[in-house]
Amino acid sequence: MLIGYARTSTREQIAGFEAQLAELKAAGCKKVFQEQVSAVSVGKREELESALDYVREGDTLVVTKIDRLARSLPHLLQIIERLEKKGVALRILSMQIDTSTPNGKLMLSIMGAIAEFERALMLERQLDGIAAAKQAGKYKGRQPTAKRKADKVLELAAQNMTRQEIAEKTGIGIASVYRILSAAKPQAGQADVGL
């Protein structure tokens, strides 16, 4: 069974939605899930989730364009993996890709390999940049969150807040609060700062 999925962003006109629906019906889709939500929206796309839950082994999920389905190539690959586990094919009309055919599987495999290669290159460039910055003495790394909040911890302790209250107020763990306060305790013979 062919199951369609149509999505328009909140900025697009109804005409774009109707064009997708007509294309999916012409492709033979018996059921179409549709929603209007931005591709970069952080929230879940409920109708996409419903479509992915609805499809069964032997079905094909059909979309008009790749950007109607996925936010990015890694997101697309996650969707494809989910479909494959259910024995469901994917058809992208604009690209004439159908994963139920050997050619369609090959095209998606190539896309996945390119994405993986690009990710490896990006990580390699990042590591090279860090190494060069370290050698030039410009890379210090990320300072731990608790250390960045040490002044605030000491300020709240001076206000007689409990360690638990300090941890909740600053958003760091109670063990970090104890470490900061312990490190700030005066050495023998020095005046107490109220800790």
- What is the per-residue pLDDT across 174-184, written as a single tens digit (0 to 9) for each? 888 998 998 88
The whole-number pLDDT of residue 186 equals 66
Query: Helix crossing, 174-184 with 150-158: angle to 10°?
Result: 80
Q: Which residues are catalytic?
A: 9
Residue, of 112 and 135, whose pLDDT is higher:
135
Q: Provide the total of helices (H) and of strands (E) in the chain, helices listed first.
A: 9, 5
Judge contact between 83 and 90, C-beta under 8 A.
yes
Does residue 157 contact residue 194 with C-beta atoms inside 8 Å?
A: yes
Q: Which CATH superfamily is domain 2-100 in?
A: Resolvase, N-terminal catalytic domain (3.40.50.1390)
Question: How do the domains of the chain map onto residue ranges?
Answer: 2-100, 145-182
Averaged pLDDT for residues 31-57: 82
Predicted pLDDT at 13: 63
pLDDT of residue 87: 93
| Percent of the chain with pLDDT strictly greater than 90 | 29
Find out whether 150 and 180 touch, Cβ atoms under 8 Å.
Answer: yes
Residue 166 in contact with residue 158, Cβ under 8 Å?
A: no
Mean pLDDT of 13-33: 86
Is 0.75 topped by the overall pTM?
Answer: no
Q: What are phi and psi of 178, to 5 degrees?
A: -60, -40
